Protein backbone atom coordinates (compact mmCIF):
# COMPACT_ATOMS: atom_id res chain seq x y z
CA UNK A 1 0.00 0.00 0.00
CA UNK A 2 1.20 3.49 -0.85
CA UNK A 3 1.53 5.55 2.32
CA UNK A 4 1.31 9.27 2.90
CA UNK A 5 5.04 9.18 3.67
CA UNK A 6 5.57 7.74 0.19
CA UNK A 7 3.79 10.85 -1.16
CA UNK A 8 6.00 13.13 0.95
CA UNK A 9 9.06 11.38 -0.48
CA UNK A 10 7.70 11.56 -4.04
CA UNK A 11 7.04 15.28 -3.88
CA UNK A 12 10.43 15.96 -2.26
CA UNK A 13 12.11 13.96 -5.04
CA UNK A 14 10.15 15.81 -7.74
CA UNK A 15 11.05 19.17 -6.23
CA UNK A 16 14.73 18.25 -6.21
CA UNK A 17 15.07 16.20 -9.39
CA UNK A 18 12.15 16.54 -11.79
CA UNK A 19 12.43 18.87 -14.79
CA UNK A 20 8.92 20.19 -14.11
CA UNK A 21 7.18 22.28 -11.48
CA UNK A 22 5.24 19.94 -9.17
CA UNK A 23 3.02 22.83 -8.03
CA UNK A 24 1.44 23.00 -11.52
CA UNK A 25 -0.98 20.56 -13.17
CA UNK A 26 0.82 17.41 -14.33
CA UNK A 27 -0.15 14.28 -16.24
CA UNK A 28 -0.85 11.63 -13.60
CA UNK A 29 -1.13 8.01 -14.69
CA UNK A 30 -2.87 5.46 -12.49
CA UNK A 31 -2.60 1.68 -12.74
CA UNK A 32 -4.79 -1.25 -11.74
CA UNK A 33 -3.89 -4.90 -12.23
CA UNK A 34 -5.75 -8.19 -12.27
CA UNK A 35 -5.44 -11.62 -13.81
CA UNK A 36 -8.97 -11.20 -15.20
CA UNK A 37 -8.92 -8.79 -18.15
CA UNK A 38 -12.72 -8.50 -18.10
CA UNK A 39 -12.72 -6.87 -14.64
CA UNK A 40 -10.41 -4.14 -15.91
CA UNK A 41 -12.43 -3.68 -19.07
CA UNK A 42 -15.57 -3.22 -16.94
CA UNK A 43 -13.78 -0.70 -14.68
CA UNK A 44 -12.41 1.41 -17.55
CA UNK A 45 -15.69 3.18 -18.47
CA UNK A 46 -16.43 3.84 -14.80
CA UNK A 47 -13.15 5.71 -14.51
CA UNK A 48 -13.72 7.41 -17.86
CA UNK A 49 -17.04 8.70 -16.53
CA UNK A 50 -15.06 10.33 -13.70
CA UNK A 51 -12.91 12.25 -16.20
CA UNK A 52 -9.97 9.87 -16.62
CA UNK A 53 -8.64 9.07 -20.06
CA UNK A 54 -8.28 5.35 -20.62
CA UNK A 55 -4.84 4.67 -22.08
CA UNK A 56 -5.57 0.96 -22.40
CA UNK A 57 -5.61 -2.52 -20.94
CA UNK A 58 -2.27 -4.23 -21.43
CA UNK A 59 -1.00 -7.75 -20.92
CA UNK A 60 2.23 -8.27 -19.05
CA UNK A 61 4.54 -10.83 -20.55
CA UNK A 62 3.88 -13.94 -18.48
CA UNK A 63 6.73 -16.33 -17.94
CA UNK A 64 6.25 -20.07 -17.85
CA UNK A 65 5.46 -20.12 -14.10
CA UNK A 66 3.12 -17.14 -13.89
CA UNK A 67 -0.34 -16.55 -15.38
CA UNK A 68 -0.91 -13.42 -17.44
CA UNK A 69 -1.39 -10.20 -15.52
CA UNK A 70 -3.45 -7.43 -17.07
CA UNK A 71 -2.94 -3.71 -16.43
CA UNK A 72 -5.48 -0.91 -16.77
CA UNK A 73 -3.78 2.45 -17.30
CA UNK A 74 -5.78 5.66 -16.96
CA UNK A 75 -4.52 9.22 -16.79
CA UNK A 76 -5.64 12.74 -16.06
CA UNK A 77 -4.05 16.16 -15.94
CA UNK A 78 -4.37 17.23 -12.32
CA UNK A 79 -2.68 19.43 -9.75
CA UNK A 80 -1.80 17.47 -6.63
CA UNK A 81 -0.26 18.04 -3.26
CA UNK A 82 0.88 15.33 -0.86
CA UNK A 83 -2.56 15.39 0.74
CA UNK A 84 -4.66 15.37 -2.44
CA UNK A 85 -2.61 12.57 -3.98
CA UNK A 86 -2.91 10.56 -0.78
CA UNK A 87 -6.70 11.02 -0.94
CA UNK A 88 -6.70 9.97 -4.62
CA UNK A 89 -4.74 6.82 -3.80
CA UNK A 90 -7.18 5.93 -1.01
CA UNK A 91 -10.09 6.47 -3.43
CA UNK A 92 -8.46 4.12 -5.94
CA UNK A 93 -7.79 1.43 -3.32
CA UNK A 94 -11.50 1.60 -2.44
CA UNK A 95 -12.49 1.57 -6.13
CA UNK A 96 -10.35 -1.52 -6.75
CA UNK A 97 -11.97 -3.25 -3.78
CA UNK A 98 -15.49 -2.32 -4.92
CA UNK A 99 -14.78 -3.58 -8.45
CA UNK A 100 -13.07 -6.71 -7.09
CA UNK A 101 -9.86 -5.79 -8.91
CA UNK A 102 -6.78 -7.47 -7.43
CA UNK A 103 -4.75 -4.30 -6.97
CA UNK A 104 -4.54 -0.59 -7.42
CA UNK A 105 -0.88 -0.53 -8.27
CA UNK A 106 -0.04 3.15 -7.99
CA UNK A 107 0.75 6.07 -10.21
CA UNK A 108 3.33 7.78 -12.31
CA UNK A 109 3.71 11.40 -13.29
CA UNK A 110 4.94 13.38 -16.27
CA UNK A 111 4.67 16.91 -17.60
CA UNK A 112 1.20 17.82 -18.84
CA UNK A 113 0.88 17.91 -22.62
CA UNK A 114 0.94 21.39 -24.09
The pLDDT assigned to 63 comes to 61
Q: Note whether residue 21 is domain-resident.
A: no
Q: Note whether residue 84 is domain-resident.
A: yes
Cα gap 50→67, rounded to integer Å: 31
How many domains are there within the chain?
1
The pLDDT assigned to 68 comes to 75
Taking 50 as the pLDDT cut, the residues of the chain under it are none
Q: Note whether residue 22 is domain-resident.
A: no
Q: Note whether residue 49 is domain-resident.
A: yes
The pLDDT assigned to 44 comes to 98
Selection from 32, 28, 35, 36 nearest residue 7 by Cα: 28
The pLDDT assigned to 104 comes to 97
The pLDDT assigned to 62 comes to 61
The pLDDT assigned to 64 comes to 55
The pLDDT assigned to 96 comes to 98
Q: Note whether residue 15 is domain-resident.
A: no
Given a contact cutoff of 8 angstroms between Cβ atoms, the answer to whether 22 and 11 are in contact is yes
The pLDDT assigned to 114 comes to 84
Cα gap 40→20, rounded to integer Å: 31
Q: Note whether residue 20 is domain-resident.
A: no
Which range of residues forms the domain containing residue 112?
1-7+28-59+71-114
Q: Note whether residue 23 is domain-resident.
A: no
CA dist 7 to 11, 14, 67, 90, 112, Å? 6, 10, 31, 12, 19
Q: Note whether residue 85 is domain-resident.
A: yes
Amino acid sequence: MITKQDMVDLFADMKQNAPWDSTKPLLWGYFFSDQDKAKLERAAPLLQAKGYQVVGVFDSEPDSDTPALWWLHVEKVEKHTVDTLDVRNQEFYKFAEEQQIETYDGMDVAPAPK
